[in-house]
Amino acid sequence: MRIVVTRRVPEAALVELRALGEVWVSPEDRPLTPDELRKAVEGASAVVSMLHDRIDASVAEAAGPGLRVVANVAVGYDNIDVPALAERGIAVTNTPDVLTDATADLAFGLLLALTRRIAEGDRLLRARKPWSFHLGFMLGSGLQAKTLGIIGPGKIGHAMAKRAEAFGMHVVYSGRNDPVEDLLRVADVVSLHCPLTPGTRHLIDAAALKLMKPSAVLINTTRGPVVDEAALADALLSRRIAGAGLDVFEHEPDVEPRLLELDNVVLTPHLGSATVETRTEMALLAADNVTAVLTGAEPLNPVHH
């Protein structure tokens, strides 16, 4: 059986996959182009995919009738046309749970970096600018007694809430069936943890940003297109809101250029799950899902549409 891995993964996962069949790993240090991806999957029984791979009907067709499972090494699976694959009897799996804490840690880290001006202070020192301690120097704002609004109360949202409670924050939630407006009006911090779906694309647009407090900040560690990035840049430039901490971008890997100029924005390059431990667990879980399907068992983490 041929197993295609679209980008390098931790060795432990390859060891597991090699026990099942012939494993091809992309040698490229970049995402495969759509054409390269279609070529790579020819004859595959399983594909281990990354969140930057668009897996649609054309990829399934290119693989041929032997394709049984696409194991995405991510909790999000907006890059996969699940109905098109399901129609062809191809299982789709993701990697939930193993990245919950790592992602919540990064979200909270962005929040602290923003409200306590950590990245900005680091830039100041590296620019070798003169400075001295004084009582009004580089004041941020405290999190204690502030309200965190969690949009998307899943596992990562709840892990974020737990961290916030430890810091003395109040937490409010908004899920799929609650109007987000109430949360936007009261939250001092709005943190996004909903998956990207047609219903959440541009959930945070100009109108939503207008509802936020001028003192509020936005944290996004889910998927870039949940936020209208141009509208966010407008809101930050006009001080409609106080700041943003962003790990994901609407047109990844590109970043809206105006955001790069702003000191009240902290940016990281999609590092939510990026710890040695978590990435290893994610790759192993994807391999476990491939093993399950190719040995005739039920997938461990099937996704449904």
List the catalytic residues: 223, 252, 270
Q: Name which position in 10, 31, 154, 302 contacts ligand GLV (CB under 6 A).
A: 154
Q: Binding segment for ligand GLV among 11-19, 71-79, 126-134, 207-215 (CB under 6 A)?
A: 71-79
**Beta carbon of residue 214, minimum distance to ligand GLV (angstroms, whole number):** 29
**Beta carbon of residue 96, minimum distance to ligand GLV (angstroms, whole number):** 4
Give the position of tokens 């779906």.
197
Q: Binding segment for ligand GLV among 4-12, 13-21, 150-158, 199-207 (CB under 6 A)?
A: 150-158
Alpha-carbon dihedral sign for residues 176, 236, 99, 223: positive
Q: Binding segment for ligand GLV among 8-16, 138-146, 149-157, 198-206 (CB under 6 A)?
A: 149-157
Name the nearest CA neighbour of 201 among 171, 227, 234, 163. Answer: 227
Under the binding rule (CB under 6 A), the answer on residue 156 touching ligand GLV is: yes
**Beta carbon of residue 92, minimum distance to ligand GLV (angstroms, whole number):** 13
Under the binding rule (CB under 6 A), the answer on residue 293 touching ligand GLV is: no
Q: Name which position in 183, 193, 209, 250 contacts ligand GLV (CB under 6 A).
A: 193
Under the binding rule (CB under 6 A), the answer on residue 273 touching ligand GLV is: yes
**Beta carbon of residue 94, minimum distance to ligand GLV (angstroms, whole number):** 7
For residue 234, how far is the Cα from the chain centroid?
A: 23
Distance CA 145, CA 165 (A): 9
Residue nearer to ligand GLV on the CB measure, 195 or 243: 195
Q: Name the residue with the smallest CB distance to ligand GLV.
A: 154
**Beta carbon of residue 301, minimum distance to ligand GLV (angstroms, whole number):** 10
C-alpha dihedral over 224, 115, 160, 103, to 10 degrees? 50
Under the binding rule (CB under 6 A), the answer on residue 272 touching ligand GLV is: yes
Q: Do residues 292 and 299 lie in contact, with contact meaning Cβ atoms separated by under 8 Å?
A: yes
Q: Is 97 left (phi over 0), alpha (psi -120 to 50) or beta?
A: left
Query: What residues contact residue 289 under an 8 Å CB cut-off, 6+ apart?
Result: 69, 71, 91, 93, 299, 300, 301
Helix (H, G, I), strand (E, B) or coil at 219: strand
Residue nearer to ligand GLV on the CB measure, 121 or 154: 154
For residue 191, how far is the Cα from the chain centroid?
A: 12
Q: Do residues 1 and 17 lie in contact, with contact meaning Cβ atoms separated by under 8 Å?
A: no
Under the binding rule (CB under 6 A), the answer on residue 107 touching ligand GLV is: no
- Binding positions for ligand GLV, rule: CB under 6 A: 51, 74-76, 96, 99-100, 154-157, 193, 272-273
